[in-house]
């Protein structure tokens, strides 16, 4: 385990002697019913978590309970409607704690990250003039690219591309600095690449951009699966994430600074409220999925309590993520070393755990990614291949446009045994 992993383990273990020093993997796995599913007797090894994680029973129970007892629209006086209002309020408050903001008006819930980003890009466009500049990093998932490109096309804006360093596998301040001018209005930046796993220093890049008067919109979808976010510390203007990537239902969440949100032109129905956060809620929210999101946050609290943390909610989120992260680092070290030992395999990302999350992509000098993915999937190792909507990353790395990479994404419910089995199958597939 490297220094980063040791530091994270120390944070998790802390000085509280009541905490478990061994990650409770069997208890964790028991919370995820889908992990027991087999295909004709063959077990599933879920290493496709970068595309979407499995959900715990707390999430499932909350959704089922909603349909059993709380299936109502909102805003009227019957007890069910009042309960739904209270549930929505509690979900927003819990997500505010999860993201690190003390203002529940800064948390927007919507269909998904891409839909919310499209919506906000159209609102932000009202603040820009023809000839203004926006910067988009080459590390982005397409959900943080196309909305801005189309906004620029519609409003005669200038698009600048921010490259990532091929040695550090992240955006370096020296690459951003020359792009900032007095006409720069927006920086679209991700926290972690969904293809390379590289993690950007968002706090430093945000400070640099904001010093030039630039709005910073962060895609934290891949990051939120592995490490806890603190929007107050980051200082960014907007930050998007997707609960289905961190053990929740299919929803999108965007944090936006209150001053930024209040200044936006809101595309909404005339009779809809101007109050935050519902000002940006288009149509009836998916209340059953929002109930499920509360279940996911319940799960993190359950895990925190298993590690001995019984403090306030934000502290419990920190404890859960520290425990998950320490376990993931052990899995990542085993997988990384195994992949690097395979002849002909080229890792598309940093060869160490520093400045990365547990998302690993590779190509092979003889086998296309689709062929490898097909064989692994047949053997029960769930994985993804292609550009994974990291279109600009794939082009920057000169990847085969039809094949892209073979991608493995780890989660804290994976085991070392699963990693070893997956490596055996990968090596056997690439040795034939």
Secondary structure of residue 388 in the 3-state scheme = coil
Q: φ and ψ at 267, to 5 degrees?
A: -85, 105
CA dist., res. 380 & res. 228, Å (int):
30
Show pLDDT as tens, one digit a residue, over the chain (432 residues): 444 444 454 444 443 433 435 899 999 999 999 999 999 999 999 999 999 999 999 999 999 999 999 998 888 999 999 999 999 999 999 999 999 999 999 999 999 999 999 999 999 999 999 999 999 999 999 999 999 999 999 999 999 999 999 999 999 999 999 999 999 999 999 999 999 999 999 999 999 999 999 999 999 999 999 999 999 999 999 999 999 999 999 999 999 999 999 999 999 999 999 999 999 999 999 999 999 999 999 999 999 999 999 999 999 999 999 999 999 999 999 999 999 999 999 999 999 999 999 999 999 999 999 999 999 999 999 999 999 999 999 999 999 999 999 999 999 999 999 999 999 999 999 997
Per residue in 33-46, is it b (16+ CB within 10 Å) or e — as a string? eebeeeeeeeebbb
Measured between alpha carbons, how far apart are the two ends of the chain, in Å?
A: 32
Distance of CA 234 to the CA centre of its chain: 16
CA dist., res. 117 & res. 112, Å (int):
9
pTM of the model: 0.94
Asked if 162 and 137 count as a contact pair (C-beta separation under 8 A), the reply is yes
Residue matched to tokens 């395979």: 342
CA dist., res. 268 & res. 119, Å (int):
10
Tokens of 252: 């999108």
Secondary structure of residue 128 in the 3-state scheme = coil
Q: φ and ψ at 425, to 5 degrees?
A: -70, -40
Alpha helices (H) in 307-415, listed in sequence order:
313-340, 369-378, 391-396
């Amino acid at each position: 385990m490297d220094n980063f992993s040791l530091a994270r383990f120390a944070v998790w273990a802390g000085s509280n002697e009541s905490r478990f020093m061994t990650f409770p993997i069997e208890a964790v796995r028991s919370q995820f019913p889908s992990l027991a599913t087999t295909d004709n007797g063959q077990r599933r090894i879920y290493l496709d978590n970068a595309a979407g994680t499995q959900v715990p029973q707390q999430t499932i129970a909350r959704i089922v309970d909603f349909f059993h007892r709380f299936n109502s629209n909102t805003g009227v006086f019957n007890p069910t409607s009042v309960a739904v209002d209270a549930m929505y309020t509690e979900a927003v408050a819990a997500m505010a704690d999860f993201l690190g903001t003390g203002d529940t008006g800064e948390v927007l819930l919507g269909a998904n990250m891409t839909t919310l980003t499209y919506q906000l890009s159209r609102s932000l466009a009202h603040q820009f003039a023809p000839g203004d500049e926006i910067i988009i990093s080459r590390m982005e998932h397409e959900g943080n690219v196309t909305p801005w490109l189309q906004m620029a096309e519609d409003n005669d804006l200038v698009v600048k591309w921010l490259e990532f360093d091929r040695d550090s596998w992240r955006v370096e301040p020296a690459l951003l600095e020359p792009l900032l001018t007095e006409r720069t209005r927006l920086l679209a930046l991700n926290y972690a690449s969904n293809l390379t796993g590289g993690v950007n220093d968002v706090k430093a890049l945000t400070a640099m951009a904001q010093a030039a008067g630039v709005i910073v919109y962060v895609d934290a979808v891949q990051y939120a699966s592995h490490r806890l976010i603190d929007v107050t510390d980051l200082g960014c203007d907007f930050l998007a994430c997707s609960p289905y990537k961190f053990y929740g239902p299919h929803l999108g969440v965007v944090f936006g600074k209150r001053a930024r949100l209040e200044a936006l032109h809101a595309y909404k129905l005339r009779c809809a409220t101007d109050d935050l956060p519902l000002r940006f809620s288009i149509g009836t929210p998916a209340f059953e999925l929002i109930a499920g999101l509360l279940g996911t946050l319940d799960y993190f609290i359950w895990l925190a309590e298993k590690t001995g943390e019984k403090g306030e909610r934000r502290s419990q989120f920190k404890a859960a993520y520290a425990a998950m992260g320490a376990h993931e680092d052990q899995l990542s070290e085993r997988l990384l070393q195994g992949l690097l030992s395979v002849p002909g395999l080229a890792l598309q990302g940093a060869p160490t755990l520093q400045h990365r999350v547990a998302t690993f992509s590779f190509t092979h000098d003889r086998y296309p990614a689709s062929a490898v993915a097909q064989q692994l999937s047949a053997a029960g190792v769930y994985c993804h291949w292609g550009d994974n909507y990291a279109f600009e990353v794939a082009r920057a790395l000169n990847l085969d446009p039809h094949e892209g990479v073979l991608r493995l994404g780890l989660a804290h419910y994976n085991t070392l045994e699963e990693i070893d089995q997956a490596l055996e199958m990968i090596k056997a597939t690439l040795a034939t």
